[in-house]
Amino acid sequence: MNYTTQMDAAKKGIITKEMEVVAKKEQIEVEKLRELIAKGQVVIPANKNHKSLSAEGVGKNLRTKVNVNLGISRDCMDVDKEMEKVKTAIDMNIEAIMDLSSYGKTREFREKLIDVSPAMIGSVPIYDAVGYLDKELKDITEEEFLNVIRQHAIDGVDFITIHAGLTRSVCKKIKNNDRLTHIVSRGGSLLFAWMELNDKENPIYTNFDKILDICEEYDVTVSLGDACRPGSIADSTDGVQIDELIVLGELTKRAWARNVQVMIEGPGHMAIDEIEANVVLQKRICHGAPFYVLGPLVTDIAPGYDHITSAIGGALASAKGVDFLCYVTPAEHLRLPNLEDMKEGIIATKIAAHAGDIAKNVAGAREWDNKMSKARVDLDWEEQFKLCIDPEKARRYREESRPTHEDSCTMCGKMCSMRTVKKILKNEEVSLI
């Protein structure tokens, strides 16, 4: 039986090879997975032209996935240096890479990325439009925007972020609203500018059906971007954000009618006590579609440490039902992340995702922690390193401060609680001098 997309296959009762891969990774029955995909509650972003892909699922009952943002820009155009980050991110077993390239040899980078990456690849085509077309923003035509989207699909991008919910009605409310940080979404701000400069409706909204044609042809998942996400805790959960979310819910149904898979993007900056309500609201308004968030950052005052502010918010968001976390690095709000920034951002976000998975009782999550606890009780340092989320750092810390007694560490030495209790339980002598 033929099918066009993973969702189309799922609705027809077909088990695809991608579904089988994901079911095995997630320790879930493949038939149950198929049902969730048919309902739109799980997506498998898998472009037909991404040949190196190791499929991942995003959504209900699955592990919380982590995305890494990379790409070249006007100030940092070194493709080889960015590919070094790609290799490191892949070695760290991330599930997704978003190519946010906006200037220079963007297609060269994208093609190299897709060629080597087993991780799913996302992009924001509007970022690429100005450089790819070599035209000022206001002069880009609606057809040219579609051409850039089509090129990304042809190249093998698995999911695209499009800011289709930023209608003129929503824009009017932005202009009449006392938002502290206005529009902080780069894609949203570009579309807002284009709409104002050309006195037209959002071309991504008016051409949504044509975009679905492209996505259906190549099985590209639509990630409905939140152009109006709050860029400060002062703006979180305001009327502008909610108005756009309502539009995204309507667009979700239109995409599903065409068997195009959908994710919904979300905040952003948000006070910690608003996170759970936002997750519930998104899931309700957008009919249970997978939820993909940046952070959320729970305070605005920590530049240089925003991998921590976002991990705090990300852990709670994941625990309450968020399916996909976009990493935030220590360089957020300050500069393009370097290799070390990227690594710190990945680790912080992976910790947040796993903490959420424990709360959601995702298959295998608690078992990992239990194995680590057993290795600690056994004072088995090699097993602890093996189970670490960052083995290199853990091993380096121990090597930098070696204990007198190898079955302890320099924090407690012979007073190590694990060592003491273990000896007592074995009826052995306890000597602390």
Tell me, rounded to whole angstroms, the distance of Cα 8 from its chain centroid: 24
> What one-letter code names the amino acid at 104?
G
The answer to whether 287 is a known ligand-binding residue is no
The answer to whether 163 is a known ligand-binding residue is yes
Structure tokens belonging to residue 269: 């900056």
Q: How many angstroms separate the Cα of 193 from the Cα of each of 125, 139, 168, 169, 173?
A: 16, 11, 11, 15, 15
Q: Would you say 286 and 252 are in contact if contact means Cβ atoms under 8 Å apart?
A: yes
Compute the CA torsion angle 263, 178, 295, 74 (nearest 10 deg). 90
DSSP code at position 297? B
Q: What angle do CA 356, 275, 26 make, to 5 degrees?
A: 25
Compute the CA torsion angle 324, 241, 196, 132 (nearest 10 deg). 0
The answer to whether 215 is a known ligand-binding residue is no
Q: How would you classify the pairing of strands 42-43 and 262-266?
A: unpaired
Q: Which of 385, 346, 388, 325 is nearest to 63 (CA)?
A: 325
Radius of gyration for the chain, computed over Cα atoms and rounded to the nearest angstrom: 23
Tell me, rounded to whole angstroms, the distance of Cα 146 from its chain centroid: 24
Q: Which of 64, 4, 222, 40 is nearest to 16 (CA)?
A: 4
Q: How many angstroms separate the Cα of 73 from the Cα of each of 102, 121, 329?
A: 5, 18, 17
The answer to whether 409 is a known ligand-binding residue is yes
- The runs of H, that is alpha helices, within 266-338 are 275-285, 306-319
Tell me how long the chain is: 433
Structure tokens belonging to residue 88: 């490191």
The answer to whether 3 is a known ligand-binding residue is no
The answer to whether 326 is a known ligand-binding residue is no
The answer to whether 207 is a known ligand-binding residue is no
The answer to whether 223 is a known ligand-binding residue is no
The answer to whether 228 is a known ligand-binding residue is yes
The answer to whether 295 is a known ligand-binding residue is no
The answer to whether 201 is a known ligand-binding residue is no
Q: Which of 150, 159, 68, 85 is nearest to 122 (CA)?
A: 159
Angstrom distance (rounded) from CA 229 to CA 313: 15
The answer to whether 307 is a known ligand-binding residue is no
SS3 197: helix
Residues ≥6 apart with Cβ < 8 Å to 408: 379, 414, 416, 419
The answer to whether 227 is a known ligand-binding residue is yes
The answer to whether 225 is a known ligand-binding residue is no
Stated as kind and residue range, the H or E segment containing 161 is: strand 159-162
Q: Which residues are annotated as a binding site for Zn(2+)?
A: 269, 333
Q: Which residues are annotated as a binding site for [4Fe-4S] cluster?
A: 409, 412, 416
Q: Which residues are annotated as a binding site for substrate?
A: 69, 98, 127, 163, 185-187, 226-229, 265, 292
Q: Which residues are annotated as a binding site?
A: 69, 98, 127, 163, 185-187, 226-229, 265, 269, 292, 333, 409, 412, 416
